[in-house]
Structure 1
Amino acid sequence: MKTAFITGANKGIGFETARQLAQLGYFVYIGSRDPSKGSEAAEKLKAAGCTNVDCIKIDVTDSHSIQSAVKKLERKIPCLDVLINNAGIAGTQPQNISACKTKLLREVFETNFFGAVQTTQQFIGLLKKAAAPRIVNVSSQLGSLTVQSSSQNPNYRVYDAYSCSKTALNAFTVLLAKEFQGTHFKINSVAPGYTATDLNQFRGTQTPAQAAQVIVKYATSDNDRPTGGYFKKEGELAW
């Protein structure tokens, strides 16, 4: 049975991604900063018939917490097939870049960028042991410099810190994919779309279940699929 670890999977898009992967036959580890919420999410999935799930405490902003999560996984599985860096925060608004406090920028980057980087670095050993490892970095269309430079949407301006963090995450995706070029790794950024979650006070226009589909698509991609790309459900996104 293939295995997957998803950060921030106790709710929202991460939770629905866990459900869909479990339904596909993966054993899914729900990463949650709050272990009680992680356990609650796992029990909810088990009650719905997805018994192939478990929860592991992880705070992606704490290197010791990440190391602990890796050690727990190493005692349970010989390798990890899929890592999904889903944990993220929006940060307080507005975030107009000309006035955004550096403290806020650091807080957002700590989870959305540095959290994904250090989680990947700590999990890479388990991933290398898999036959066809996959890494999906959950980004956003707001991370696209093309979108930001061409869009007239005034609502984007309140998410400048968040947008910057996702642009940085995309750069990490490209560099990591280049590093593992020629191997069986497939590493991509995915933009799930504007989804109704607590990240945006549930103002999104699609459900978490709909958003999770594109993440699952690239988490389960075959060896013919691209690596080092940036995708939404309709297809490739411009950086």
Structure 2
Amino acid sequence: MSKNVLITGASRGLGYEIASEALERGYNVIAGVRDPGTPGKLAELRAMYGEDRIRIAHLDVVDEASIAALAARLKQEGRTLGAIINNAAILKARDTQIEDLDMDEVIESFDVNVYGPMRVVKHLLPLLTEENAALINVSSEAGSLTKAYPGDYPYAISKTAMNMFTLQLHSYLKERGVLVLSVHPGWMYTDMGGNQAPTDPRASARGILDLIERRTQTDSRWQFVDYTGQSMLI
């Protein structure tokens, strides 16, 4: 089992639930947040498990310097990683039609949802050396070309791009035995998903960790699955 897990966007929602579930399973967690001075519920996990088990780290996915600095600190400490979970994302221009779309929101969405994971992998991949390592990109069914719909343009198109990034990483890392997946976490009742969503984010977190631990086997040609391991349409 991988012992050290890095999670982006860990202060709330799915990221927090993954951190909590990982700690419960015995992992050490590096919880990446934009502002470690206001860790929110992560402070409760730190009080419960201690700073040796959970580090609340400054990691802003749009700030490459913050990612590089964290990678340098971890390397200096001799830390390795068993999993990287690119969870941080934003949902802009919900229900906005193309005629009314603010292109600045598209640019911001790509900066967080696509370039953010690319920055994280660029700097932290050299530390992903533990046995049975995994790299998980939290994606969405919204990124499926097969099920394209007219709406959520910034989010959907950025997740499609992330799925391409996953395939490139899979091709690059498969000889090292690194599991690389895009994972649709389900429509969850989080700040992003809203309170009408049917999926418990903790259930999704459990599913993602089961994938990392290879408890759930997958056979997706496109490395795109849901949190239960079922193949998603690309």
TM-score of the two chains, using structure 1 as the length reference? 0.87
What residue number does 2:30 align with? 29
CA positional deviation for 1:64: 0.6
CA positional deviation for 1:48: 4.5
* Aligned counterpart in structure 2 of residue 198 of structure 1, from 188, 191, 197: 191
Does 1:73 pair with 2:74? yes
CA positional deviation for 1:237: 0.5
In the aligned structure 2, how far is the partner of 1:23 from the partner of 1:30? Answer: 14
Does 1:229 pair with 2:223? yes
What 5-or-longer segments of structure 1 have no aligned partner?
150-156
Q: Secondary structure at the match of 1:30?
A: strand
CA positional deviation for 1:173: 0.2
Contact 2:33 2:56 survives alignment (8 Å) = yes
Contact 2:219 2:231 survives alignment (8 Å) = no
Does 1:180 pair with 2:173? yes
Contact 1:105 1:161 survives alignment (8 Å) = yes
Change (3 A) 1:14 1:50: farther
1:104-131 superposed Cα distances (whole Å, 9 cap, x missing partner): 110111100110111111111111x323
* 1:236 alignment partner AA: S
| Larger proportion of helix | 1
* 1:233 alignment partner AA: Y
What residue number does 1:121 align with? 122
* 2:33 alignment partner AA: S
In the aligned structure 1, how far is the partner of 2:50 from the partner of 2:218? Answer: 27
What residue number does 1:139 align with? 139
In the aligned structure 1, how far is the partner of 2:41 from the partner of 2:55? Answer: 9
CA positional deviation for 1:219: 2.3
Change (3 A) 1:31 1:109: same
1:168-219 superposed Cα distances (whole Å, 9 cap, x missing partner): 0001001110112222111000001111111134332222212212221222
CA positional deviation for 1:93: 3.0
In the aligned structure 2, how far is the partner of 1:212 from the partner of 1:25? Answer: 15
What 5-or-longer segments of structure 2 have no aligned partner?
none
What residue number does 2:4 align with? 3
Does 1:207 pair with 2:200? yes
* 1:197 alignment partner AA: T
User: How many aligned residue pairs are there?
Assistant: 230
Q: Secondary structure at the match of 1:236?
A: coil
